[in-house]
């Protein structure tokens, strides 16, 4: 029998140049195991293979510390009761833009790839994916023998139709935030019944993530179906299919007997919508549900200390952005923005606001969870003296007044108050304007939105498996969510380079330049990246959540 080392040598002869380069990086310990698996999966290498290579190559790094989930095997059959947030709008796969809606999409629908809790891509409807040399064309091999719940077969045409719809600006689809500038209608071409070629507008090393559960609108439905009709069918290819829909209250799913993969453990899922976080938490405490998809630190402290509830926390890139208008008023001077950043007591924010269920941010979208985030960039810490010096140099030694806009969402109002308190140390008088979501977002277009027009504001951003969206929409010159009105040709160029890079070290090199530039310019404060928290009764095992908000309960059941 061959040793792992010998088998590795054999494997390397069959892998591409880029993949071999990745293995070299792992052996040289410039990539850890987790980073290697993530990058390998992105390039289309299977997770089991990547895991074997990582084991064979090096002393393995210990994986993430996490609370041990219940590993007892669940019993087959029965009904699992799941509680989730009420979707904020119609369950149209094209338009869903909130956690309540995306969790529903992922129950009966499936993606080409699945971004797991470790941010590694796993095959789902795509069995394999490979880039061309510069990452401008990606070829996906679609799984054969898959059928939709009504018996129609899945083909490449269903995939191209889904991406054409999502990339069409006229539909106003939610996925445009991720796909604009990457693909447009017609970019996805079916070269045969089971192969799709994505011809990108520019090289993109992270493109497979845009086909994954991270781009939660990208479930594949039959090409000829109208997404607006989806709420009445829940049609997809997933392990569950719709049994009964109870609009605004929830739905019941049953096993899909024709599923291509393993059959679900439970017989049935009773999914209940909850309009408030408090109601969800009470439902779990009161044994009304077995699984709670998500809760926040601010609302769910009772669950964290409840011995009857097993909570799971996942590192994520979800965060709050505090933008400062770089084109007008006080913050036009970057020294003032830096001063504001230096006034924040981030440790107090992490401890007090989020009960340590988060990681520190360093004023760039590069969350510690991203493998491409460069190490060695000094963490920004509170330095009131330095802040005062910067304000003095900018001619604002006496401070100034500014209005901070945000809306009542989880801990955001408390965060605003902490900023207000911290800023006072340098004479900056922060007036708070805390409204509802509708007032804050307005029409969500420049000129008619507090979010995009205010001098300073706090906006929430959900998790993504790669930082591309965070780097683009809120910070690039053409960005559609650029509340800071930040414009820098140098930054735009660095982002283009980062997005195009296929090799991990090229991504990290570019990431470092972006991190340093953003620390200098500080158009947006990124103080923390909070964990994704979910909970289940201690008698439940097998629930798999992602930081995006998906809950895969197909392997879950009662112990």
Asked if 196 contacts 188 with a C-beta cutoff of 8 angstroms, the reply is yes
Instruction: State the nearest-atom distance from the C-beta of 283 to other proteins, in Å.
Output: 5
Asked if 184 contacts 178 with a C-beta cutoff of 8 angstroms, the reply is no
For residue 539, how many C-alpha atoms fall within 13 Å in the half-sphere facing its CB? 8
Instruction: State the nearest-atom distance from the C-beta of 272 to other proteins, in Å.
Output: 8
**Residues found near other proteins in the complex (CB under 8 A):** 86, 88-92, 95, 97, 169-174, 176-177, 228, 231, 244, 246-249, 252, 270, 272, 274-276, 278-280, 282-283, 285-286, 288, 436-439, 441-445, 480
Backbone angles phi, psi at 510, to 5 degrees: -65, -35
- Whole-angstrom distance, CA of residue 147 vs CA of residue 236: 8
Instruction: State the nearest-atom distance from the C-beta of 440 to other proteins, in Å.
Output: 9
Q: In terms of CB distance, is 141 or 272 closer to other proteins? A: 272
Instruction: State the nearest-atom distance from the C-beta of 89 to other proteins, in Å.
Output: 4
- Whole-angstrom distance, CA of residue 135 vs CA of residue 206: 9
Asked if 300 contacts 284 with a C-beta cutoff of 8 angstroms, the reply is no
Q: In terms of CB distance, is 139 or 403 closer to other proteins? A: 403
- Whole-angstrom distance, CA of residue 320 vs CA of residue 462: 9
Instruction: State the nearest-atom distance from the C-beta of 457 to other proteins, in Å.
Output: 14
Question: In a 10 Å sphere around its CB, with 0-12 CB exposed, 13-18 middle and 19+ buried, how is residue 552 labelled?
Answer: buried
Q: In terms of CB distance, is 46 or 413 closer to other proteins? A: 413
Instruction: State the nearest-atom distance from the C-beta of 477 to other proteins, in Å.
Output: 18
Q: In terms of CB distance, is 124 or 450 closer to other proteins? A: 450
Q: In terms of CB distance, is 40 or 281 closer to other proteins? A: 281
The CA dihedral of 470, 471, 473, 477, to the nearest 10 degrees, is: 160
Instruction: State the nearest-atom distance from the C-beta of 268 to other proteins, in Å.
Output: 12
Q: In terms of CB distance, is 410 or 441 closer to other proteins? A: 441
- Whole-angstrom distance, CA of residue 241 vs CA of residue 256: 5
Separation in Å, CA 173 to CA 45, 170, 260: 30, 8, 29
Q: What six digits make up the tokens of 540?
A: 């439940």
| 24 Cβ contact list (under 8 Å, min separation 6) | none
- Tell how far CA 368 is from the center of its chain: 13
Instruction: State the nearest-atom distance from the C-beta of 166 to other proteins, in Å.
Output: 11
Q: In terms of CB distance, is 270 or 492 closer to other proteins? A: 270
Q: In terms of CB distance, is 129 or 216 closer to other proteins? A: 216
For residue 80, how many C-alpha atoms fall within 13 Å in the half-sphere facing its CB? 35
Instruction: State the nearest-atom distance from the C-beta of 234 to other proteins, in Å.
Output: 13
The end-to-end CA distance of the chain, in Å, is 39
Q: In terms of CB distance, is 145 or 438 closer to other proteins? A: 438
Backbone angles phi, psi at 243, to 5 degrees: -105, -50
Residue 550's nearest CA partner among 465, 493, 431 is 465
């Amino acid at each position: 029998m061959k040793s792992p080392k010998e088998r590795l040598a054999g494997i390397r002869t069959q892998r591409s140049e880029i993949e071999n380069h990745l293995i070299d990086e792992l052996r040289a310990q410039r990539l850890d195991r987790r980073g290697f698996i993530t990058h390998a999966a992105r390039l289309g290498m299977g997770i089991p293979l990547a895991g074997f290579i990582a084991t064979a190559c090096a002393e393995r790094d210990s994986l993430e510390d996490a609370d041990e989930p219940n590993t007892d095997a669940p019993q087959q059959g029965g009904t699992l009761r799941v509680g989730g947030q009420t979707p904020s709008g119609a369950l149209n796969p094209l338009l869903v833009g909130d956690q309540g809606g995306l969790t529903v999409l992922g129950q009966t629908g499936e993606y080409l790839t699945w971004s797991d809790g470790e941010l590694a891509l796993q095959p789902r409807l795509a069995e394999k994916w490979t880039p061309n040399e510069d990452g401008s064309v990606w070829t996906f091999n679609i799984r054969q023998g898959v059928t939709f719940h009504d018996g129609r077969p899945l083909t490449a045409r269903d995939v191209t139709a889904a991406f054409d719809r999502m990339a069409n600006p006229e539909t106003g689809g939610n996925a445009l935030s991720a796909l604009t500038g990457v693909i447009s209608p017609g970019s996805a071409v079916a070269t045969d019944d089971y192969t799709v070629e994505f011809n990108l507008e520019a090289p993109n090393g992270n493109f497979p993530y845009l086909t994954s559960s991270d781009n939660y609108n990208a479930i594949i439905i039959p090409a000829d179906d109208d997404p607006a009709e989806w709420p009445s069918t829940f049609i997809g290819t997933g392990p569950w299919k719709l049994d009964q829909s109870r609009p605004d209250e929830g739905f019941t799913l049953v096993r899909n007997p024709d599923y291509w993969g393993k059959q679900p453990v439970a017989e049935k899922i009773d999914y209940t919508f909850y309009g408030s976080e408090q109601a969800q938490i009470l439902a779990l405490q009161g044994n009304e549900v077995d699984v709670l998809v998500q809760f926040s630190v601010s609302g769910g402290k009772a669950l964290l200390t409840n011995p009857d509830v097993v909570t799971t926390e996942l590192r994520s890139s979800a965060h709050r952005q505090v933008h400062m208008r770089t084109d007008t008023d006080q913050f036009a001077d970057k020294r003032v923005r830096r001063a504001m950043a230096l006034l924040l007591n981030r440790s107090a924010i992490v401890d007090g606001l989020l009960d340590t269920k988060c990681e520190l941010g360093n004023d760039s979208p590069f969350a510690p969870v991203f493998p491409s985030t460069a190490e060695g960039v000094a963490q920004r810490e509170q330095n009131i003296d330095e802040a005062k010096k910067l304000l003095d140099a900018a001619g604002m030694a006496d401070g100034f007044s500014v209005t901070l806009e945000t809306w009542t969402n989880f801990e955001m109002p408390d965060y605003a108050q902490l900023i207000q308190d911290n800023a006072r140390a340098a004479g900056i008088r922060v007036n708070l304007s805390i409204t509802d979501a509708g007032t804050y977002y307005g029409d969500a277009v420049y000129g008619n939105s507090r979010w995009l027009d205010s001098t300073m504001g706090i906006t929430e951003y959900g998790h993504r498996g790669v930082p591309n969206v965070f780097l683009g929409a809120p910070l690039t010159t053409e960005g559609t969510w650029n509340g800071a009105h930040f414009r820098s040709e140098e930054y735009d160029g660095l982002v283009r380079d980062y997005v195009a890079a296929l090799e991990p070290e090229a991504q990290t090199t570019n990431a470092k330049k972006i991190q340093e530039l953003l620390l200098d310019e500080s158009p947006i404060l990124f103080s923390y990246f909070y964990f994704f928290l979910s909970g289940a009764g201690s008698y439940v095992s097998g629930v798999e959540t992602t930081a995006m908000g998906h809950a895969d309960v197909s392997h879950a059941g009662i112990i």
